[in-house]
C-alpha cells in the first residue's frame, strides 16, 4: 500500500455521492480540480452529476483522506495510473458505455465503489484491456483500502477508437449482473 501511495493516482467518484458535488469539492478540497467524465461530450448538460476524476499527487489532502478512509471520499474508486490526466480522462470516457453479449447498451457508473466491490466479492473478471492505462484499482472494504485488481497489461486497450460514446467493449452477463446487483434474467427482459 505504501508503494501505491507514492505513485501517480486518481480518485474517480460519482457526483451523486454529494449534494452539489463541485461546490463540495471547492469547499473541502480547493486545491483539487474535479473533472467530469462527461465534459466535452454530447452529455455536458448533465456533467455536474459526474462521475468526476481528480488527480491526487503524493501528499495531497484528497489522497491522504481517501487512503485513511475517514471521509466521504471512500465511496470513490482509487486508480493507480501513470497516464496523464487528459489521457486517462479520454480512456475512461470510452468505457462509460458498454454492450452486453446480445448487443444491448449500458452506461457504467465507474466511480461507484459499491458496484465495483460487488464484482470483486463475486470474483467476476473484467475483459482484458478494460482497465487501459490503469495499474491497479483500489476500493474501500470495511473502511480499509483493498487492491481489487492489478492490471498486468495496462497498455492493452479494449476500446482504442476515439468514437465518442459508441460502446466498444462487450462485458459478459455475469459482470453486468455483478455491477447492477441484478440477476441475469433481468438483463434479458
Lookup result for grid cell 480512456: 91
Give the pLDDT band of residue 189 (cuts 50, 70, 90): very low
pLDDT for the residue 186: 47
* Strands across the sheet containing 9-13: 35-36, 52-56, 9-13, 77-81, 134-141, 144-150
pLDDT for the residue 8: 74
pLDDT for the residue 2: 45
How many Å apart are CA 169 and CA 132, to the nearest integer? 12
Domain boundary assignment for the chain: 2-96+108-157
pLDDT for the residue 3: 45
Give the pLDDT band of residue 185 (cuts 50, 70, 90): low
How many Å apart are CA 100 and CA 159, to the nearest integer? 15
pLDDT digits over 11-34, tens only? 999 988 788 888 899 999 999 989
How many Å apart are CA 60 and CA 27, to the nearest integer? 15
How many Å apart are CA 93 and CA 85, to the nearest integer? 12
Collapsed DSSP state (helix, strand, coil) of residue 148: strand
Task: Give the closest residue to 91 by CA, choosing from 162, 175, 183.
Answer: 162
How many Å apart are CA 80 and CA 31, to the nearest integer? 20
DSSP-derived secondary structure letter, 136: E
Sign of CA pseudo-dihedral 164, 172, 124, 14: positive
Amino acid at each position: 500500500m505504501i508503494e501505491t501511495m507514492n505513485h501517480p493516482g486518481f480518485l474517480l467518484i460519482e457526483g451523486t455521492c454529494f449534494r452539489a458535488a463541485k461546490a463540495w469539492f471547492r469547499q473541502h478540497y480547493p486545491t483539487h480540480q474535479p473533472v467530469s467524465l462527461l465534459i466535452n461530450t454530447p452529455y455536458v448538460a448533465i456533467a455536474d452529476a459526474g462521475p468526476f476524476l481528480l488527480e491526487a499527487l503524493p501528499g495531497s489532502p484528497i489522497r491522504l483522506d481517501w487512503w485513511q478512509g475517514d471521509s466521504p471520499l471512500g465511496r470513490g474508486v482509487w486508480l493507480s495510473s501513470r497516464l496523464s490526466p487528459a489521457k486517462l480522462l479520454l480512456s475512461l470516457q470510452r468505457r462509460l458505455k458498454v454492450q452486453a453479449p446480445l448487443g444491448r447498451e449500458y452506461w457504467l457508473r465507474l466511480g461507484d465503489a459499491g458496484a465495483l466491490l460487488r464484482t470483486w466479492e463475486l470474483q467476476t473478471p473484467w475483459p482484458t484491456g478494460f482497465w487501459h492505462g490503469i495499474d491497479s484499482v483500489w476500493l474501500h472494504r470495511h473502511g480499509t483500502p483493498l487492491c481489487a485488481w492489478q492490471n498486468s497489461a495496462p497498455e492493452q486497450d479494449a476500446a482504442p477508437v476515439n468514437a465518442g460514446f459508441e460502446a466498444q467493449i462487450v462485458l459478459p452477463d455475469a459482470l453486468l449482473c455483478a455491477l447492477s446487483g441484478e440477476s441475469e434474467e433481468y438483463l434479458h427482459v
